[in-house]
Amino acid sequence: MGLFDFFKKKEQTAETKEALDKSLEKTKDGFFSKMAKVMVGKSTVDDEVLDELEEILVTSDVGVSTTLKIIERIENRVARDKYVNTSELNDILREEIQSLLAENNSEDFEQLNYSQHKPYVIMVVGVNGVGKTTTIGKLAHKLKEAGNKVVLGAADTFRAAAVDQIKLWGERVGVRVVSQAMGSDPASVAFDTVQSAIANREDVAIIDTAGRLHNKVALMNELTKIKNSMSKLVPGAPHEILLVLDASTGQNAIEQCKQFTQATDVNALALTKLDGTAKGGVVIGISDQFKIPVKYIGVGESMDALQLFNKKAFVESLFKQDNG
């Protein structure tokens, strides 16, 4: 079994689809209630409807630039088809959002295979409070459940709570945790983690990092030092730099994405807490603006509530009505 084949199988289950549907309930409730008000007394998609739709998308945290792209696409279709009924608007909107996401990102993560790397090194970044450590724990659980040997590196050495939380997750999941004393050099912890992963023939090393958004230069220097320490042992490591963002913070998540992508070579995103927010539209905006694959989404509290992001499934769930 390939390293991530297990995810692929899990993502296809009815249980997984149901969890995604449930996690988007608040976003859908807010979005479709606003859409219904716009449609009252309207039979065709005119400028007034499009203006209202633009406001709905922006307030759903899709983001201004992405919203304008979507509106422009719908305007082109209205101009081309001459007459577009308002009852068709949901279908058109769904199609255009799916098309936009398909154009902007590479293949969905479940289609990729990184099993040629051993150990496969993941460096996790993000500010405190976004669910970073929880995401690490859930990811470790998934990978271990798939039969992989996993080790965690507690390289956030500035907060005792961070190290304790990683250790707690290590105990819950049943994986090793490499840590040092408080205030130790984070790069040293990362180096030790990868070195021990090699010695123990482990498949995956997941490295936690400090969740501070200090100035970009300091952040860049710190993350670069951590990366360099690991690449001395495994050329090309870390293979994945995963930025964890809290979907419930909406536009703040987009700002954090800007900061971290400027500081390091982020090549994967995880959006947490989708189940507790009406701001699920931020997934669309981030996917479009940064051209970095959203690979994981958090859809609940349980250990299994971490899914691989599938663009088509996400949009279909977002537009799925209660009546099916």
User: Among residues 205, 215, 311, 304, which one has the least CA distance to residue 263?
Assistant: 215
Mean pLDDT, the chain, rounded, equals 86
Top-confidence residue, 117 or 177: 177
CA distances from 36 to 32, 97, 294 (A): 6, 19, 30
Does the pLDDT of residue 294 top 50, yes or no? yes
List, for residues 153-202, the tens digit of each pLDDT value: 999 998 888 999 999 999 999 999 999 998 999 999 999 999 999 999 99
Looking at residue 1, what is its pLDDT? 47
Residue 324 has pLDDT above 70, yes or no: no
Looking at residue 217, its pLDDT comes to 80
155-171: string of b/e by CB count within 10 Å (b at 16+)? Answer: bbbbeeebbebbeebbe
Nearest to 316 by CA among 98, 101, 100, 104: 98
Strand 176-178 and strand 150-154: the pairing is parallel
Alpha helices in the chain (DSSP H): 5-11, 14-23, 25-39, 47-59, 64-81, 89-104, 132-145, 160-173, 186-199, 216-231, 251-263, 282-290, 311-318
Residue 100 one-letter amino acid: L
Task: Assign 81 to helix, strand or coil.
Answer: helix
Lowest average pLDDT, out of 28-37, 68-77, 105-114, 245-254, goes to: 105-114
User: Coil, strand or helix: which one is 67?
Assistant: helix
Helix (H, G, I), strand (E, B) or coil at 272: strand
Identify the pLDDT of residue 123. 97
Reported as a single tens digit per residue, the pLDDT across 240-293 is: 999 999 998 888 999 999 989 988 999 999 999 888 777 888 999 998 999 888
Judge whether residue 53 has pLDDT over 80: yes
**Which residues are registered as beta bridge partners of 270?**
244, 296
Lowest mean pLDDT among 1-10, 33-42, 52-61, 263-272: 1-10
Residues 83-100 have a mean pLDDT of 84
Residue 82: per-residue pLDDT? 73
Residue % of the chain over a pLDDT of 90: 44
Band (14; pLDDT cuts 50, 70, 90): confident
Q: Which of 153, 122, 182, 135 is nearest to 296 (CA)?
A: 135
